[in-house]
Amino acid sequence: MPCIGHPADRKAVKAKTPEHVVVVGASAAGLSAAEALRRGGYENKLTLIGAEPHLPYDRPPLSKQFLSGEWDQDKVMLRPPAHLADLDVMTRLGTPAVGLNTADRKVALATGDEVAYDHLVVATGVTPRMLPGTPKVRGVHTLRTLEDAQTLQTELESGTRVIVIGAGFLGTEIAAVAANAGVQVTLLSNASAPLAGALGPELGAEVAALHESHGVTIRTRQAAGCVITSDGSKVTGVALKNGEKLQAAVVVVAIGSAPAVRWLDNSGLEIGDGIECAPDSLAAPGIHAAGDVARWRNRLFNLRMRVEHRTNAVDQGIHVAEQILAGTRADYAPVPYFWSDQYDLKLQSYGWLRNHDEVLLTEGSIAEGKFVALFRRDNRVTGVVAARSVKALRRWRELIINKASWSDALDAL
Ligand SMILES: Cc1cc2nc3c(=O)[nH]c(=O)nc-3n(C[C@H](O)[C@H](O)[C@H](O)COP(=O)(O)OP(=O)(O)OC[C@H]3O[C@@H](n4cnc5c(N)ncnc54)[C@H](O)[C@@H]3O)c2cc1C
């Protein structure tokens, strides 16, 4: 979709300090925007609206240290309890926004209240996708919230049979924690190997070997078309498309997420795969989006992207706060970064891995626990994934920023 001509492009933001900034979504991106506004000298009214009853907490540990029992709830909270009050942020937690009237600049809440804003930040993230026809019974899980993690954790007992449907980063992390806890894990992948969609088939095969060495059973090309079975009150397993029936006491569905935008129906905002924004994250006059829910053209890659990474939520929150304060229209053009923990392996990545044309393993291997892999799209280096190779990561990040050609990158090896 061309970015020129986006409704948000046509009208310049007025360089006037807002009287009331409202942030919807009280998690990484929303908190980051609120904090950056205060840091930047914004002294007027600031309201943070959140659907969940909790103060902002961190999601990455939910599939890692929290799920394994290593961390407790206090440790996943993003800030101490008094922090938002200290920042003079008015909070409306446990209060989902249910509608947006852009003409009157009002957010409607589930309580029936309306909150008027003169600048709005939308940071409502994503919600997990569920397999169609999934029975509403005990033992079926998704993992997005603290409560999801708490319930799943209680069911991951040693010896239990668990099926994880979906072998992306979330599914593989859950499989790793469960396998470490002595659970009998079957991981259903839709591709030729776990993480093959993100990392390519060769690295995917190495990820498969890593999981198998920890006792995980991997069934490739089996996630699509599978059906969760139950006895009416609890889950009994998964029926594969080929007719095979796998038994399990716990089934985790990790097949991706959808942007939390239902509350914006009829708002007039452009909604596609997320809130469609201009290259500076402006969604409409007086409205920015940040974090997992936002989709914008990242001019560094000249691609429209929506990034479900923790650091992006923080960085985009800061960016929109800066734009609101300055009244400017600066592009948001980051090099996305994420990490993933699988057993003792910490994968780290810079760039954009999706729709790559080639993955080149330049050193090491997953089995060695240390490696570097470069990603090419057309004739550019667009991404790097590595483990225990911080220097190489930094170096390739620079090349991505400098839009290095693939041939230049190969010369630099
Ligand atoms: C289990 C798990 C593990 C992860 N691990 C990693 C990792 O290792 N590395 C990494 O880079 N990223 C990881 N991520 C992704 C990272 O956590 C997200 O990118 C980040 O949380 C996005 O922050 P956000 O604020 O944009 O959205 P969210 O964290 O989804 O927050 C959105 C908030 O908005 C609220 N909300 C939704 N609708 C409404 C509404 N109508 N009204 C009011 N509030 C609303 C939601 O309840 C939620 O609290 C992980 C995510 C999960 C779930």
Residue 383 lies in a domain: yes
Do 202 and 263 have their domain in common?
no
Average pLDDT for 222-247? 94
Say yes or no to pLDDT of 2 above 70: no
Q: In this predicted structure, what is the pLDDT of residue 7?
A: 45
Say yes or no to pLDDT of 326 above 80: yes
Q: How far is the CA of 142 from the centre of ligand 1 (A)?
A: 13
Alpha helices in 105-191 (DSSP H): 146-155, 169-180
Q: What is the DSSP letter of 84?
A: H
Task: Tell me the helices (H) and strands (E) count for the chain, helix number first.
Answer: 11, 28
Q: Does ligand 1 lie within 6 Å of residue 51's CB atom?
A: yes
Say yes or no to pLDDT of 155 above 90: yes
pLDDT band at 15 (very low <50, low <70, confident <90, very high): low
* Interval 380-408: pLDDT, tens: 999 999 999 999 999 999 999 999 999 98
* Interval 346-374: pLDDT, tens: 999 999 999 999 999 999 999 999 999 99
Instruction: Give me 395's structure tokens.
Output: 């170096």
Q: How many CB atoms lie within 10 A of CB 236?
A: 19
Q: Does ligand 1 lie within 6 Å of residue 308's CB atom?
A: yes
- The mean pLDDT value of the chain amounts to 94
Give the residue from 326, 360, 384 where a domain finishes: 326
Beta bridge partners of 385: 349, 373
Give the atom of ligand 1 at the shortest distance from the alpha carbon of 294.
Answer: 26
Q: Does ligand 1 lie within 6 Å of residue 343's CB atom?
A: no
Q: How many CB atoms lie within 10 A of CB 389?
A: 20
pLDDT band at 413 (very low <50, low <70, confident <90, very high): confident
**Residue owning the nearest CA to atom 50 of ligand 1:** 60
Q: How far is the CA of 292 from the centre of ligand 1 (A)?
A: 7
Do 187 and 77 have their domain in common?
no
Say yes or no to pLDDT of 68 above 70: yes
Domain count, the chain: 3
Q: In this predicted structure, what is the pLDDT of residue 412?
A: 82
Do 97 and 195 have their domain in common?
no
Q: Does ligand 1 lie within 6 Å of residue 404's CB atom?
A: no
Q: Does ligand 1 lie within 6 Å of residue 306's CB atom?
A: no
Q: Does ligand 1 lie within 6 Å of residue 28's CB atom?
A: yes
* Interval 296-305: pLDDT, tens: 999 999 999 9
Distance (Å, whole) CA 34 – CA 40: 10
Do 379 and 270 have their domain in common?
no
Domain around 348: 344-412
Say yes or no to pLDDT of 343 above 60: yes
Do 27 and 139 have their domain in common?
no
Q: Does ligand 1 lie within 6 Å of residue 50's CB atom?
A: yes
Do 142 and 113 have their domain in common?
no
**Residue owning the nearest CA to atom 13 of ligand 1:** 60
Q: Is 28 helix (H, G, I), strand (E, B) or coil?
A: helix
Q: Does ligand 1 lie within 6 Å of residue 144's CB atom?
A: yes
Instruction: Give me 218's structure tokens.
Output: 């991997």
Do 53 and 115 have their domain in common?
yes
Q: What is the CATH number of the domain that holds 213?
A: 3.50.50.60
* Interval 97-120: pLDDT, tens: 999 999 999 999 999 999 999 999
Give the atom of ligand 1 at the shortest distance from the alpha carbon of 149.
Answer: 1
Distance (Å, whole) CA 132 – CA 135: 9
Do 85 and 154 have their domain in common?
no
Cα-Cα end-to-end distance for the chain? 35
Residue 218 lies in a domain: yes
Do 288 and 245 have their domain in common?
no
Give the residue from 200, 221, 253 where a domain finishes: 253
Backbone angles phi, psi at 384, to 5 degrees: -145, 140
Percent of the chain with pLDDT over 90: 92
Do 11 and 108 have their domain in common?
yes
Do 137 and 94 have their domain in common?
no
As a whole number of angstroms, the longest Cα–Cα distance in the chain is: 63
Residue 333 lies in a domain: no
Q: How far is the CA of 269 from the centre of ligand 1 (A)?
A: 21
Q: How far is the CA of 59 from the centre of ligand 1 (A)?
A: 6
Give the atom of ligand 1 at the shortest distance from the alpha carbon of 97.
Answer: 42
Q: How far is the CA of 410 from the centre of ligand 1 (A)?
A: 37
Q: In this predicted structure, what is the pLDDT of residue 135?
A: 87
pLDDT band at 411 (very low <50, low <70, confident <90, very high): confident
| Helix or strand (DSSP H, E) at 21 | strand 20-24
Q: Does ligand 1 lie within 6 Å of residue 313's CB atom?
A: yes
Average pLDDT for 120-143? 95
Q: What is the CATH number of the domain that holds 384?
A: 3.30.390.30
Q: How far is the CA of 126 from the centre of ligand 1 (A)?
A: 6
